[in-house]
Amino acid sequence: MRITAFGDSLTAGYGLAQDQGLVPQLQAWLSARGHDVRVANAGVSGDTTSGGVLRLDWTLADRPDAMIVALGGNDLLRGIDPALSRANLATILDRLAAEGIPALLVGLPAPGNYGPEFQQAFDAMYPELAQAHDALLVPDLLAPIQAQVDAGRPATTLMQADMIHPNPDGVALVVEGLGPAVEALIARVEEARGS
């Protein structure tokens, strides 16, 4: 089974050794749990939801069985209107549904510095899109890191120096949080195949 991880620098493994990024750590986690799955890294650092729409054809040419859609972080950093981000993600999810490719939508929470309206619109986007498109949902990719920080662990032990991208230990926490949802995605593919 082929799962494509379609995202930005958090997916691509920015700043990390090749075997320490999200995709290789997720691959190892799934393999250790007995899943015969290949996770392809379609993460592009700096990519926005608009960029995701533009490279969707090329990504789907590999015929994935399922897709993890983890875009929106760079839209946030650039203060892009959440209505545009939502429309782009809807376009991606519509295309996956049309091709019969189960999707796991992975979000991030908006910070408060763009104002409450922006924050509300952005934060509502992921759960509403997942529901509308029958996609699985992980509302906050970095929640496992935030939970550790809230419990008193220094963020510097889990993040790279830019405090945006997780270090290998942070990625390991993210994978533990993401893994069960990916297992649910695998189950959807197997159900659709009738196996």
**Residues with catalytic function:** 9, 162, 165
CA separation, residue 23 to residues 20, 38, 68 (Å) = 8, 10, 11
- DSSP string for residues in 139-190: S-TTHHHHHHHHTT--GGGTB-TTSSSB-HHHHHHHHHHHHHHHHHHHHHHH
CB 76 within 8 A of CB 111: yes
Q: Which of 8, 22, 47 is nearest to 177 (CA)?
A: 22
Question: Distance between CA 190 and CA 165 in Å, rounded?
Answer: 33
Q: Can you name the residues that pair with 151 across neighbouring β-strands? A: none
Per-residue CA distances from 76 to 48, 51, 56, 111, 193 (Å): 9, 14, 20, 8, 37
Q: Could you say which DSSP state residue 108 is in?
A: -
